Homo-oligomer: A and B are copies of this chain.
Amino acid sequence: MEQKLSTRQKRILKFIEAFIGNNGYPPTIREIGEAVEIASTSVVNYNLNKLVEYGLLARSPEVSRGLRLVGGESPKEVPFKVVDITHLVQIPLVGKIAASAPVPLPGEDFGYYYDDDDIIDVPQGMLGKHRQSDLFALRVTGDSMIDAMVADGDVIVLERQNIARNGDMVAVFLPERGETTLKKYYLEGSQVRLQPANPTMDPIYVDADKISVQGRVLAVLRTLH
């Protein structure tokens, strides 16, 4: 059964989900309208009734906030699922990363000592589930990471981690070369194959005990202007 929801209707559903997750109770028609950019309450009402037709929503007539999501999923799980989507994780931007230096790791002793501009917000659902204290971000300076498809000015979000599993994109420091790179990690015998994200470029091979994994890359964020 293929239900073609309009973009608005999808946004409405998503918003209701998120709102309930954040507030514990459903939104009003007007709150939905504001969030989804619908000027008239009647239009929101109109689309809500559509969603009821499609069996995605339940409404209690004449009841404020009388909405309930009734998708195929178990309704019990909704609030938790939503939490993942709508929560923002605050990640400290602890410094810059360049090929010529090891990754600056967040200070352990002094914990939270960053000013406001050094914290970036990321929707929790965009990353997986991780201990927030293990997350940190770095701004890339220079073009040395182009083989990792990472440009000057990009922000990368990392999870602090000393080991890696095959296929992980990791930040590794190579003491022999005295440089840091972002590569995909593949352990092959006693050697490690470090594969650039750019498929046109060749991997490098290093002894497994001669590299230092600094963290696993979870996301790359690039904003223009």
- A101 part of interface (Cβ distance < 8 Å): no
- A37 part of interface (Cβ distance < 8 Å): yes
User: Given A25-B65, A222-B220, A225-B218, do A88 and B90 touch, yes or no (CB 8 Å)?
Assistant: no
Q: Are B25 and A90 in contact (CB under 8 A)?
A: no
Q: Are B4 and A132 in contact (CB under 8 A)?
A: no
Interface residues on A, range: 35 or more
Cα–Cα, bound, A141→B120 (Å): 27
- The count of identical subunits is 2
- A96 part of interface (Cβ distance < 8 Å): no
Interface residues in chain A, defined as those with a beta carbon under 8 Å from any beta carbon in chain B? 2, 4-7, 10-11, 14-15, 18-20, 22-26, 28, 35-37, 58, 60, 63-69, 75, 79-83, 85-90, 92, 94, 106, 113-114, 116, 118-128, 132-133, 143, 146, 149-151, 168-169, 197-200, 216-225
B residues less than 8 Å from A88 (CB atoms)? 18, 81, 83, 86-88, 123
Which residue from chain B places its CB closest to the CB of A157 in the assembled complex?
B223
Cα–Cα, bound, A6→B200 (Å): 42
CB distance from A69 to the nearest CB of B (A): 7
Q: Are A23 and B121 in contact (CB under 8 A)?
A: no
Cα–Cα, bound, A169→B92 (Å): 28
User: Given A87-B80, A113-B4, do A146 and B92 touch, yes or no (CB 8 Å)?
Assistant: no
Cα–Cα, bound, A4→B224 (Å): 29
Cα–Cα, bound, A94→B6 (Å): 11
Which residue from chain B places its CB closest to the CB of A5 in the assembled complex?
B114
Cα–Cα, bound, A214→B10 (Å): 24
Q: Are A68 and B125 in contact (CB under 8 A)?
A: no
Partner of A90, one of B81, B89, B121, B169: B81
